[in-house]
Amino acid sequence: MIDLGTFKALLSSLVPVSRTHYQIWGNNKEMIFSTEGAVSKELHVKECQNLSNRITVQNGFQYSVHDGENFLCGIPLRDNQGVFAALLAYGRKPNRSFRYEAGNDTEADHPEEMERFLNNLKMFVEENLTAKEEAEELAHELDQSFEDLYLYGKISTQIKMLTFSDKMLKNLLEEILENMRVDAAFAWFPDNVQYNFKVIAPKIYNKFLAPESCFENLIHLIPPDAPILNENYFIINDSQENAQYKALAMDPYRFLAVKVQHLENFYGWLGLVSFDLNEIFRQGELKLLRSLAEQLAGVIANTDLYKNLELFIINMVKSLVFAIEAKDVYTRGHSERVSKYSMLIGEQLGLSDKEYNNLKWASILHDIGKIGIPENILNKPDRLTDAEYAIIKEHPRKGGEILKPMEQLTDSIPSIIHHHERYDGRGYPQGLKGEEIPLGARIIAVADTFDAINSVRPYRGAKSQEQALAIVEEVAGSQLDPNIVEIFKKVYKENLIIEKEEKICPIVQNTMTLKKSVAIK
Amino acid sequence: MENNKKVLVIDDEAQIRRVLELKFKNRGYQVIMAKNGEQGFDIIQKQKPDIVISDINMPIMDGKTLCEKTNGLKKYRSFLTIIITARINPEDRDWIDTLQDTLFMEKPFSPARIVEAVEQYIGGQG
């Protein structure tokens, strides 16, 4: 693995000037390098091998002389994991005339010189290798952080979508699986199982003994008192270390899970599984996954808030409808029916989601302004005086005023204010004509007219649905938008309205019976 | 592991050069590096790399000028160019489409994906 290129070149160039040959032997008793093509006759490979062995075992300089004139010596080379090779030098022992500093005992001097020389070489190579290794490690870390950054960039685009959805979660998990190079990525939400989702590499599916419930099991086995949970994650880098985790799959795997949690709200877990035990989950990956989980939790929290707000509006609208119905006994169930008919017309018309929603609120709340009208006028069985009728005619405008503070309903208000306009321009409050009248208001006008004729009023009894439809058709073009009436007829003929009454709204039927008895009295 | 393909990495950022050098050296490529388009162009002419990976925003000669200049060379000798850039607008995309054997990767890029793209190109060449 270690690149000794430069060092080998240095050794080769030392041969002619030092009159010495060099070899490098690895730990595995194999020669890695030799400055001599074939080992010289004087020395057998066996001797070199033995010496390199001795060096590695004794971890120090070794020197020997053969046939009185040839020397063989060596020194261990170390990296941060210990001795990885032996550096050997051999040649003819220098004679007296060659030596520049003659001592009394040349026999003893040569090994010392060689030890010093080899030691310097060894330091040179070791320092070089360490520096190289460090540089490589840094580059490797850099590489990982490039990958993390790339993944983070890709995934944050996914997560920026404002609302949480199955599709968004699926995309997120697929990105994680592909880019973090794991075998499975999953989201586990114990209280919201409809959110649960997993993405799994097909090749590993059968490695789990209970594939269907494996992710549930992985989460359930997390010991609740694991100290690491304070950091909001759990990790097992080798499933063989834990008997329970080991039992889940045939092969050893590693598992990382982080909590999906926003402020004090805990939603669930985001988990990864990999069967590649040559790698471990790195700090960078943990950091990345935690940050993704945090963002995911933020998105879920936002979605929850949004849903809560929507629910709040629905409930508020219901209360308002109850408030009118408590006041005006004749309109009981009327708001809901007008809303139903309007929605059916809206569906036929193919309204956009936004228009459809606005129509939903406008139709159910169209009479909300009646809250501001005295009960004795609303429930008066006799014909109304002009003054009383003028008060009744105030209800669309009053409805608009009541709802004005509710921002979420702003777009529904025009349809409420104008639901008593007439197609020919003779309606109220503004006398708008034809297409000047908001579409929602024209739809509500048809539904409202039909249901009013079909219901009991203080001054008359109820007419049948067929009769009501006939009257609606008569006023098409004058009071009502003929196009909407056409669509209403279509909806009616498909029996959608009657069906709705019978199947979905038994309460409506009861109130109708109640109304009849009131009328008889 | 040895492979006789030459990769030229042109980027003014040392860390990007370092990462790509490691990535390709580990897979047996010969890696040459340059800090700007001018150095890069010189190397392309003299050392004839098989793959050129270049940044767009660089001093002295930017990646666009470099690509315009090297695209002519591809008539005589084909090689892959991968442009790495922070943001790609539609005009750039159209411009890249006019170049021969040229891909782009958006920053932050994945070094592993660059290697994949290179090996796919080499595999395609047979």
All residues of chain B having their beta carbon less than 8 Å from the beta carbon of residue A151 are 110
**The pLDDT of residue A518:** 33
Are B22 and A139 within 8 A, CB to CB?
yes
Q: What is the pLDDT of residue A499?
A: 44
Find the chain A residues whose C-beta atoms sit closer than 8 A to any C-beta of B: 136, 138-140, 142-143, 146-147, 149-153, 179
β-bridge partners, B85 = B106
Residue of B nearest to A147 (CA): B110
- Residues A420 and A394: beta-carbon distance below 8 Å: no
Is A150 in contact with B108 (Cβ distance < 8 A)? yes
Which residue do the tokens 């045939």 mark?
A: A250
Residues 6+ apart with CB under 8 A from A245: A218, A221, A236, A239, A255
Q: Look at residue A76 in the predicted model and tell me its pLDDT.
A: 92
pLDDT at A202: 66
Question: Exposed, middle or buried, A221 (CB in 10 Å: 0-12/13-18/19+)?
Answer: middle
d(CA A402, CA A408): 13
Residue A235, burial from CB neighbour count under 10 angstroms (0-12, 13-18, 19+): middle
pLDDT at B34: 93
Neighboring chain A residues of B23 at a CB cutoff of 8 Å: 143
Q: Which chain A residues contact residue B86 at CB under 8 A?
A: none
Euclidean distance between CA atoms A130 and A107, whole angstroms: 35
State the smallest CA–CA distance between residue A69 and chain B in angstroms: 43
Which residue out of A138, A145, A146 would a mutagenesis test of the B interface target, given it has the greatest number of B Cβ atoms within 10 Å?
A: A146
Q: Which residue of A has its CA nearest to B17?
A: A139
Tell me the C-alpha distance between A122 and B111, whole Å: 35
Residue pair A480/A442 in contact (Cβ under 8 Å)? The answer is yes
In chain A (521 residues long), the average pLDDT of successive 10-residue segments reads 74 88 86 76 74 86 85 88 87 65 57 89 86 84 84 73 72 81 85 70 72 82 83 89 88 92 87 89 85 85 80 84 79 85 92 91 91 84 87 92 87 95 94 94 95 79 85 94 94 66 36 32 29
The answer to whether the Cβ–Cβ distance between A146 and B18 falls below 8 Å is: no
CA dist A312 and A308 (Å) reads: 6
What does pTM read for this prediction?
Answer: 0.54
